Every structure is written in structure tokens, then in C-alpha cells.
A and B are shown apart, each in its own frame.
Chain A
Amino acid sequence: MRVFRPKEPPKMQPPMTPMIDCTFNLLIFFILTPSFSMTEGYLTTNLPTTSGPVAGKKQIDVQRIKIELLDEGPKGERVSIVLNDNQNLGDNFDLLRDALKKLRDQGLPANHPVLLSPTMACRHKYVVKGFDQAVYAGFSEIHFAVPYQ
């Protein structure tokens, strides 16, 4: 008697090519998208903590460079720059940079403290611009005036 063997079912293989194409496209997208954040950077400084001076620690009194940024206009849309309480530089940040460079050329070290003192209504972009000019002129110790409440 002739015995029929059951035939093996044909192997089903889903088409892999479109899936791999799609996966690679997604992979490239997710690899590339974080690189857009490379256009963003940081200006770094240290803030003073609100604890008082350590008892017995010697206080070093250094004459700081003071940059005042005064808001102008009803909503602070413009700015006026005053350097060391006596040099009014208008709204020209190039003049501020030149004046700071001059101070560096006169022998002030890079770690000489610079105090940025904006008024409360002064826009953040002007504060960053002031910070920028001080870094550009070669100063590295830039601090902010923060009102204590």
C-alpha cells in the first residue's frame, strides 16, 4: 500500500526590504534631530549662595568693574549702559566692549570681577549682550547683582 506523507507547509516570509528601509529612515531621523541643538550654547558663571560670609574668613576687597543696564522706554524695549558709575555709553554695546578691552589692556587680569547690574525691567537679551561683551573683552569672573528679598 502506498502511504502519502503530509507535505510540509510552504515557509511564509514577510517582505523584509520595506521594513528595513523604513527602520533606517527612522534611525537617520532620530540620529540627526538632536544635532539641531548644537546651535545652542551656554554662558556660565557662579552665583553667590545666600548664606552669610564664613566667620573668620578674610574678606578680599577688590574694586569691581560695574556695568549698569538701565531700561529705557515704557516697556524696557531699549537700554542705556553705564560703566563704573560715570561712563554713559548710551545703548552702544560696541562702546562697552571697547571700554572693557581698554581696561584689560591697562593691566587688569582676566579674573578681575565684573558686576552686571541690570534694572528689574531690563530685557534678558540685553543682560546676555552685556555678559557677552565682558567675555569678549577677556574677563572670566562675571557676576550678577541680585536684590535680596
Chain B
Amino acid sequence: MRIKKPGGTGVVSVNMTPMIDMVFNLLIFFILTSQFAKLEIEEVVLPPSLTAVSKDYTQFRNVVINIVSPDSPHIVVFGQTLTLDELTEVLKERKADVKSTETMNVILRADAEIPYEEVARAMLATGRAQIQGWWIQTEIVDPDKLAKEGQK
């Protein structure tokens, strides 16, 4: 009788090359997207809100208006400080790039201590650019946590 000898040693090696390719691609994607997000936003203390909701803002064409430093408030868009007229022009240009089927919103990131006057100026510029969508960015606060802090 003929006896078959086992052919291999039993060691299975994993093909690492496609896995490393994929990991590097993912790494490059996350590095680049996080950089783009940082270009639009400035460091501000957002006001707390109980009813604000998370939204997938990537579904829309948005412009982020930052209103920073409560002591000398100024409007910053894409890292540039703008006057009211300049802001209106920037918003009009962005609006012109948007297709009729797309929705465009302005996202307001204003410091909690900013006077309403600055926010109203940004609203005026937005209205002049014929943009209606107005999103106020806030920090989402858990009502239970807020109640506990109030009791302390």
C-alpha cells in the first residue's frame, strides 16, 4: 500500500502587501481630510444648547463664518478676517458656484460671549447673498448633566 506523505510544513503566511497598501491609503485619507476641516474652523467657545442636533453637513454646500475674540470681535472665513462688504462678496461668489439643485447653508461658529450685533452683521451679509439656510453651531449639552451642575 502506498502511503501519502504530508506535502507542506503547515505554516500559513499572511499576504501583508495588500493590507499595508490599504492601511496607508486610509491613513493618507484621514490625514488629508482632518487638515481640510481645520482650514475652515477657528478656535471658539461655543454656546451650550439642549436642543441642537448633529447633522451630516457634508451633504450640503456650506460656508463657515467664524466670529472670534469677544473683546474685539471680527469675522473670519477660511482663515481670513473680513469686513461686512468683503463677507457679502465672498458669500455671493460661493453662492454663484452652487448648482440650482444644491442647498447652501451658512454655518455660524460664534463665541458664546460675542454681542448679537456681530451675528446680525453676518446675517445681513448672508441675506444680501440670497442665502437662506442658517445653522448656528453649538455645543450639545446633556440635560441631565446640566441639571446636576445646577444642583451643585
A42 pairs with B55, CB closer than 8 A: yes
Give Cα A26–Cα B114 distance, bound, in whole angstroms. Answer: 37
B124 pairs with A149, CB closer than 8 A: yes
Give Cα A33–Cα B34 distance, bound, in whole angstroms. Answer: 9
- Whether A51 is near chain B, meaning CB under 8 Å from some CB there, is yes
- Whether B20 is near chain A, meaning CB under 8 Å from some CB there, is yes
A41: which of B31, B37, B49 is its contact (CB, 8 Å)? Answer: B49
What residues on B are CB-neighbors of A60 within 8 Å?
none
CB-CB contacts below 8 Å: A13-70 with B: 16, 20, 23-24, 26-27, 30-31, 33-34, 38-51, 69
CB distance from A21 to the nearest CB of B (A): 11
Query: Chain A residue with minimal CB distance to B105?
Result: A44
Chain B interface, >50% SS class: mixed
Give the A interface residue count (CB, 8 A).
47
Give Cα A118–Cα B111 distance, bound, in whole angstroms. Answer: 16
Query: Chain B residue with minimal CB distance to A136?
Result: B51
14 further A-B contacts with Cβ under 8 Å, apart from A124-B47, A125-B48, are: A23-B27, A26-B27, A41-B49, A42-B54, A42-B137, A45-B136, A50-B124, A120-B115, A120-B117, A120-B120, A121-B117, A128-B47, A128-B138, A129-B49
Q: Which 6 A-B pairs have the closest CB atoms?
A: A41-B52, A30-B30, A125-B112, A120-B117, A125-B47, A135-B51
